[in-house]
Chain A
Amino acid sequence: MTDLAWIETTLVGARPQAMGALLRYFRDLDRAEEAFQEACLRAMKNWPLKGPPRDPAAWLIFVGRNAALDHVRRDSRNTELPPEDRISNLDDVEADMAERLDDAHYRDDILRLMFVCCHPDLPATQQVALALRIVSGLTVREIASAFLVGEKAMEQRITRAKRRVAEANVPFAAPDAAERAERLGAVAAMLYLVFNEGYSATSGDSVVRASLCDEAIRLARLLLRLFPAEPEIMGLLALMILQHARSAARADADGNPVLLEDQDRTLWNRHLIDEGLVLVEKALRHRQPGPYQLQAAIAALHARAATPEETDWIEIDLLYQMLERLQPSPVITLNRSVAVSKTRGPEAALELIAPLAERLSGYFYFHGVRGALLSELGRAAEAREAFDRAIALARTPAEAAHIRQHLDRLSADSRAS
């Protein structure tokens, strides 16, 4: 690897820790970012000459803090005397400069850095954009291209999100156990949003999107290293890894989505599957099931099946039932209906989803699943009607194309009979 490439990956790797610590010192996202930028510039100059520091994150924190404090001092001299609390703050900072970074801070710093992106008032897309900017350090241009919006619009979106965060006054004291658990839950949900933004690929540059999945996985691995005994974080990481393992098989040569049962399973990434399976096992040993663990356990059962016929649908049905109890949602019931159709037949599955018709009337997948069940039962006219509804609700050409395949098959069948 060249010097520069090495330095770049080191900076990316050290970013969450360094940004997290700088945010704790400055209590301001913009100032923390500036300090980190400054430290990176100095790293680019220094490291090729002097060699890599033993602890790159500590180096970046130390240098970033000093550089930013220089600015504060210089600014203050030009304007007015710094307020008393700022002066004493400086002393604190100076005092602990001598210390090494301790692990307790490190953990809560990174958690806080991720947590500030999860403000409940921020819509999902803004949480994702902010996390990619703040935690991952993607440029505004990269984020804009992932979301298929202009750079300027994305810049404004991120600025607005930052303002919200600043107004929200996230506490900077070390969180207590309950607060920490709450933050972990919010951060897990946000990381899953980042992952899904890449996974669903409804729009935007596909290469950038795929890298969002990698990024979400990287951050979840980091989070689990900090909180190694949290079964839901194991579940989250396992879920993302197991889904990501199928990415090479999820689309055909023309970019159309390929259903799970039609995928070429030899294209699945065995390395990732093995890692995901171990994580699911580790999580389930805790006997504290949660939504991510259950979804991961379902993904694990798919991953274990060498052919679709070997899938353990009975177990999948059971896991979905547990998931329904923990997190009642019509979408989960809809997903369960697929397992039910395999174990008890399409009739039973149709019965299961019938009560969802009203709530899911605007949901593409509802009509897609219903159409597939109806056509399995040979109720072609009703199936066609359901598929037509689905096409009308499709958000992407690929989704529509997929339903059209179903319709073509229906027409072919009716011609054949």
Chain B
Amino acid sequence: MLYAILCYHDEDVVMSWSKAEDDAVLAKRHRVQQELVDKGRMGPAIRLVPTSAATTIRGAAGDEPVVFDGPFAETKEQLLGFYVVDCDSLEEVIDFAKRMKQGESVTFEIRPMRIFKEGTLSGKEVLAP
């Protein structure tokens, strides 16, 4: 079974970490990850750029999607999945997300990535039933 582990933390606190503190946290986690890396069972690891760089696309199913600044803030919806894409500009991602959203009421939150480690997983795929 593949699992996603999502990180939640208080951004004010994390942004107050010194570089040394931040490095220490990453190094500590890295030691744990190494076990799975060695076994070829560590998938992509991602760190997102702070929410101030976020853009959100939402709107009802039939409507033209609307672009908002900032992260997705509602609590009534749940995180159901995510995509990782490589685009040349924010404009390009927004356009891509708008086209995916066509005819759906889904909300997409676009977050640039600060760290992307590919990991050692390969050829694993969980197929839809």
Give chain A residues whose Cβ lies under 8 Å from the Cβ of B50: 221, 275
Residues facing A in B72-106 (CB within 8 A) are: 89-91
Contact indicator B15/A221 (Cβ below 8 Å): yes
Nearest CB of B to A58, in Å? 12
A229 at the interface (CB under 8 A from B): yes
Select from chain B the residue with minimum beta-carbon distance to A237. Answer: B52
Q: Are B51 and A225 in contact (CB under 8 A)?
A: yes
Q: Are A13 and B12 in contact (CB under 8 A)?
A: yes
Asked if B24 lies at the interface with its beta carbon under 8 angstroms from chain A, I say yes
- Verify if A301 is at the interface (C-beta below 8 Å from B): no
* A56→B25 CA distance, assembly (Å): 21
Q: A218-B16, A225-B11 are in contact. Are A279 and B67 (CB under 8 A)?
A: no
Interface assignment of B45: CB less than 8 Å from any CB of chain A: no
Residues from chain B with a CB closer than 8 A to the CB of A271 are: 49, 114-115
A235 to chain B, nearest CB (A): 12
Closest Cβ of chain B to A252, distance in Å, is 22
> In whole angstroms, how far apart are the Cα atoms of A222 and B21 in the complex?
20
B52 contacts A9, C-beta separation under 8 Å: no
Closest CB-CB distance, A3 to chain B, in whole Å? Answer: 13
CB-CB under 8 A from A279, the residues of chain B are: 52-53
Q: Is the CB of B69 within 8 A of A228?
A: yes
Distance between A268 CB and nearest chain B CB, rounded to angstroms: 15
* B12 to chain A: closest residue by CB: A13
CB <8 Å contact, B69 and A10: no
Is A208's beta carbon under 8 Å from chain B? no
B13 within 8 A of A: yes
CB distance from B79 to the nearest CB of A (A): 19
Interface membership of A12, Cβ < 8 A: yes
- In the assembled complex, the Cα of A224 lies from the Cα of B14 at a distance in Å of 16
Chain A interface extent, by class: 20 to 34
Give Cα A14 to B50, complex, Å: 17
Shortest CB distance B16–A (Å): 4
Given contacts A237-B52, A278-B49, contact A225 B90 (CB under 8 A): no
Contacts A10-B13, A224-B52; is A275 near B114 (CB within 8 Å)?
yes
Q: Which of A265-299 contact B (CB under 8 A)?
A: 271, 274-275, 278-279, 281-282, 285
Whether, in the assembled complex, A95 has its beta carbon less than 8 Å from a beta carbon of chain B, the answer is no
> When each residue 1-34 of chain A gets 1 if its CB lies under 8 Å from chain B and 0 otherwise, what string results?
1000100011011100100000000000000000
**How many Å lie between the Cα of A9 and that of B17 in the bound state?**
6
* Residues of B close to A17: CB separation below 8 A: 12
Give the residue among A5, A282, A285 with the most B Cβ atoms within 10 A: A282
Residue of A1, A56, A225, A281 touching B21 (CB-CB under 8 A): A1
CB–CB A5/B21 < 8 A: yes
A13, A228, A274, A281: the one contacting B15 at CB < 8 Å is A13
Q: Provided the pairs A5-B21, A285-B67 are in contact, do residues A278 and B12 lie with their beta carbons within 8 angstroms?
A: no
A159 to B89, CA, bound (A): 48
Query: In the complex the two chains form, what is the Cα distance from A224 to B70 in whole Å?
Result: 9
Q: Which residues of B contact A278 (CB under 8 A)?
A: 49, 53, 90, 112
Within 8 A of A (CB), among B39-66: 49-53, 55
Q: Across the interface, do A281 and B13 meet the contact criterion of CB distance under 8 Å?
A: no
**What chain B residues lie within 8 Å of A14 (beta carbons)?**
12-13
* Contacting residues, chain A, for B112 (C-beta < 8 A): 274-275, 278
Residues of B close to A228: CB separation below 8 A: 52, 68-70
- Contact status of A218 and B15, CB under 8 A, knowing A1-B24, A275-B112: yes
Q: How far is the CB of A104 from chain B (nearest CB, A)?
A: 14
CA A177 – CA B58 in complex, angstroms? 25
B29 CB to nearest chain A CB (Å): 12
CB distance from B93 to the nearest CB of A (A): 10
- Which residues of B are found within 8 Å of A5, using beta-carbon distances? 21
With both chains docked as a complex, state the minimum distance between the C-beta of B71 and any C-beta of chain A, in angstroms: 8
- CB-CB under 8 A from B17, the residues of chain A are 9
Q: Name the residue on B nearest A220 (C-beta).
A: B52
* Nearest CB in chain A to that of B54: its residue: A228
Q: Is the CB of A275 within 8 A of B51?
A: no
Interface residue? B10 (CB, 8 A): yes
B54 CB to closest chain A CB (Å) equals 8
Would B70 and A281 count as touching, CB distance under 8 A?
A: no
Question: In the complex, what's the smallest C-beta–C-beta distance from B38 to chain A, in angstroms?
Answer: 26
A345 to B70, CA, bound (A): 43
Chosen A-B contacts, 17 in total, with CB atoms closer than 8 Å, are A1-B25, A9-B16, A10-B13, A13-B10, A13-B15, A14-B13, A56-B10, A221-B52, A222-B15, A228-B68, A234-B69, A275-B49, A275-B112, A279-B52, A279-B53, A282-B55, A285-B67
- 20 additional contacts (CB under 8 A) given A221-B52, A228-B52: A1-B21, A1-B24, A5-B21, A10-B13, A13-B10, A13-B14, A13-B16, A14-B13, A221-B15, A229-B70, A234-B69, A274-B49, A275-B53, A278-B49, A278-B53, A278-B90, A279-B52, A279-B53, A281-B89, A285-B91
Q: B residues engaging A (CB < 8 A)?
A: 10-17, 21, 24-25, 49-53, 55, 67-70, 89-91, 112, 114-115
